Amino acid sequence: MAEKPHLNLVFIGHVDHGKSTTVGRLLFEKGDIGEHIIRQYKKDAEEIGKATFEFAWVMDKLKEERARGLTIDISHQKIQTDKYYFTVIDAPGHRDFVKNMITGASQADAAVLVVDVAQRDEKGGLMPQTKEHVFLSRTLGIGQIIVGINKMDAVNYDQKKFEEVKDLLEKLFQIVGYKPEQVTYLPMAGLKGDNITSKSENMSWWTGPTLLNAIDNLKIPEKPIDLPLRLPVQDVYSITGIGTVPVGRVETGVMKTGDKVIFLPSARPGGVSGEVKTIEMHHETIPKAEPGDNVGFNVRGVGKKDIKRGDVCGSTANPPTVAKDFTAQIVVLQHPSALTVGYTPVFHAHTSQIACRFTELISKLDPRTGNILEKNPKFLKTGDAGVVRIEPTKPMVIEKVKEIPPMGRFAIRDMGSTVAAGMVVDITPAK
Whole-angstrom distance, CA of residue 44 vs CA of residue 62: 13
Phi, psi of 135 (to 5 degrees): -65, -45
Contact between 378 and 370 (Cβ < 8 Å): no
Task: Please report, in tens digits, the pLDDT of each residue of the chain (431 residues total).
Answer: 457 887 888 888 776 666 667 777 777 666 555 555 556 656 665 665 555 554 444 444 434 444 444 443 334 567 778 888 887 766 655 555 655 555 444 467 888 898 888 877 777 777 667 777 787 787 777 889 999 998 898 899 999 999 999 999 998 888 777 899 999 999 998 877 889 888 999 999 999 999 999 999 999 888 889 999 999 998 899 888 888 999 988 999 999 999 999 999 987 888 899 999 999 987 889 999 998 888 999 999 898 899 999 999 999 999 999 999 999 998 887 788 999 999 999 998 888 999 999 999 999 988 766 789 999 999 999 878 899 999 999 999 999 989 998 899 888 888 877 788 888 999 999 98
> Where do the domains of the chain lie, and which CATH numbers do they carry?
6-216 (3.40.50.300), 231-315 (2.40.30.10), 323-429 (2.40.30.10)
59: closest CA among 137, 124, 112? Answer: 112
Residues contacting residue 200 through CB under 8 Å, at least 6 positions apart = 157, 188, 189, 194, 206
